[in-house]
Structure 1
Amino acid sequence: MVKITKILNNGAVVTENSQRKEIIVLGKGIAYNKKVGDLIDSKKIYKIFTPFSGKQKKLLLDTIHETDPIYFQISQKIVDRLKHEENIELVDSVYITLTDHLATSVERGKKGMFLVNQFKWELKNYYSKEYSYGLWALKLLKNQFNIDFPEDEACFIAVHIISGEMGNDIGDFQKSIDFIKSVTKIVRYYFNIDIDYQSLSYNRFAVHLKFFWKGMMYDRKSRNFGDLSEEILKVIKNSDIESYQCALKIKDYIEDKYNYKLNNEEIMYLAIHINKIVSDNRR
């Protein structure tokens, strides 16, 4: 059981965790007919915000005060499905920004005002998984508010998912798109092929690049230099010299653009993905 220290609304209260640090918990109707000092059933809680920065706390409190709890519940459904089906944990900040975005989108949608997403093509092809969850989220909005949103809205939701998935600010999204686009372009021009962006092999390549970019930008210290990469790299060089040479082109681009030196294991995985894309294309 949780003791209430402050009531924010019927679905949100302030309390303390086991370390006696302030936390904010959300749950459908958890504060209904309750007062400060009362206990609430922990089984009713669907989201806990643990200690966070002052800026994030203010944003969360503002969102709670100004937003219908139904938007928090829809956000939670999206987050829960990603966790259960894809084992993806989104950072808490995206839960707040996604909730606010959904509320704003519905208000616009009720007036027939829909925004165009300039990254629609990139999202559908480079982040197809996140885009598919964006489409699913539109069904939730349709069922709740009877509004038919265009695919562009699925793209906006996908951007929030991507930002939460990678733990970065939404502003980093375009940078990751530019990175994937540039690397894909190197492969296209090197082999002079038209890539099937809907293929499984390309989807895996895009996912690899997505997480490679995150590691390159934010997690360089935890790189694994791979004790097996040297021998496997020799096999790749001998069996598929073209894919290996293309991987080296990408290596040079990344070193020049991002001042990041790829290790053998990273070159190896690039070559493997490139080989699969090219093989599928030739078939």
Structure 2
Amino acid sequence: MRIKKVLNNNAFITHNDDHQEMIVIGKAIAYGKHFNDTVDESKVYKMFTPISRGDRKLILDMVNEIPIQYFQIAKQIVDKAESDENIELTDSVYIALTDHISSSVDRIKSGLMLTNQFLWEIRSYYPKEYQIGQWAIQLINGTCDVTLPDDEAGFIAIHIISGELGEQLDEFHEIINFIKKITSIVTYQLSVEIDRDSLDYNRFVTHLKFFWQYMMENDKKHTIGDLSDEMLAIIKGKKVAAYECALKVRDFVQKTYHYTLNNEDLLYMTIHIARIADAN
């Protein structure tokens, strides 16, 4: 890998085998280097291949303005998400995360803390992303000698969620509202207080997130487990209340999203609702 232009001690521009421009970042990777020099590739944190002029300008501005340690922290968080949870994240998430970490540290050192209005929902509906956020703030605190509040774990989780949703952050809000509405229907219809930390509720939330995805994509090819026992229980009428609740959910989804639950959809919904009901 040869340098085409030094940006600073920690970044330079090169070209890949397809003659595309690449921006390469790594601590002291370009220190003392000049045009056409080779570099130690083991020092590379991240390589960007900008798609547009806007992307290129954004990355170059960040390289010049943001200390290298924040790029390194962002890479560790992205690596953690990808290795531990098999979450695939795009370069745009890495860029947004780097910028957010830098801003968060600057804010906290200035005594300014932001409240995350979705913190409860993130903890309840996206636990694995939230756990990565918690791990991330411990990393940031130790590296940058700050004490970030739990709200920041939620903000980092939102960046990870947005990457999973293909940067469609509006969809995150829609999914949150969808889960809240369905949960409210179950709570009201069954007159139960749901334990939102329970395994059954977490399974229900996971099912609702998958249901949302195939409802939006109109993809009916989904199979979750062996349903023989649950089907038998429903046929015998042991889950009448849960089934009636599932019908309320069906009516809400039909009216709000113009999607009609088929018998299989109803069955899955009934099973999850029944598990919540049985736990109360």
Scaled by the length of structure 1, the TM-score of the pair is: 0.85
> Given residue 257 of structure 2, which amino acid in structure 1 is its aligned partner?
Y
Greater shift, 120-129 or 195-204, is seen at: 120-129
Identity %: 46
Rounded to whole Å, the distance in 1 between the matches of 2:166 and 2:253 is 22
Rounded to whole Å, the distance in 2 between the matches of 1:53 and 1:154 is 31
Partner of 2:129: 130
Rounded to whole Å, the distance in 2 between the matches of 1:191 and 1:75 is 44
Greater shift, 264-273 or 125-134, is seen at: 264-273
Rounded to whole Å, the distance in 1 between the matches of 2:94 and 2:76 is 11
> Given residue 161 of structure 1, which amino acid in structure 2 is its aligned partner?
I
Once the two structures are superposed, what CA deviation does each residue of 1:140-164 show, in whole Å capped at 9, x if it has no partner?
Answer: 1211222112211211111112111
**Pair 230,78 (structure 1): closer, same or farther in 2 beyond 3 Å:** closer
Q: Is the 2:108–2:148 Cα contact (8 Å) retained in structure 1?
A: yes
**Pair 200,232 (structure 1): closer, same or farther in 2 beyond 3 Å:** closer
Once the two structures are superposed, what CA deviation does each residue of 1:150-207 show, in whole Å capped at 9, x if it has no partner?
Answer: 2112111111121112223334332221111111111211211111111122122223
Cα displacement (A) at 1:210: 2.8
SS at match of 1:39: coil
Q: How does 1:52-131 map to 2 (within 5 A)?
A: 52-131=51-130
Q: Is the 2:116–2:152 Cα contact (8 Å) retained in structure 1?
A: yes
Rounded to whole Å, the distance in 2 between the matches of 1:54 and 1:252 is 48
Partner of 2:171: 172
Q: Is the 1:26–1:48 Cα contact (8 Å) retained in structure 2?
A: yes
Cα displacement (A) at 1:234: 5.7
**Pair 78,236 (structure 1): closer, same or farther in 2 beyond 3 Å:** farther
SS at match of 2:25: strand
State how many pairs are aligned: 277
**Pair 43,247 (structure 1): closer, same or farther in 2 beyond 3 Å:** farther
Rounded to whole Å, the distance in 2 between the matches of 1:98 and 1:214 is 25
SS at match of 2:98: helix
> Given residue 201 of structure 1, which amino acid in structure 2 is its aligned partner?
D
Q: Which runs of 5+ in 2 are unaligned?
A: none
Rounded to whole Å, the distance in 1 between the matches of 2:148 and 2:27 is 26
Partner of 1:22: 21
> RMSD of the TM alignment (CA)?
2.7
Confirm whether residue 224 of structure 1 aligns to residue 225 of structure 2. no
Q: Is the 1:11–1:27 Cα contact (8 Å) retained in structure 2?
A: yes
Confirm whether residue 186 of structure 1 aligns to residue 182 of structure 2. no
Q: Which runs of 5+ in 1 are unaligned?
A: none
Partner of 2:254: 255
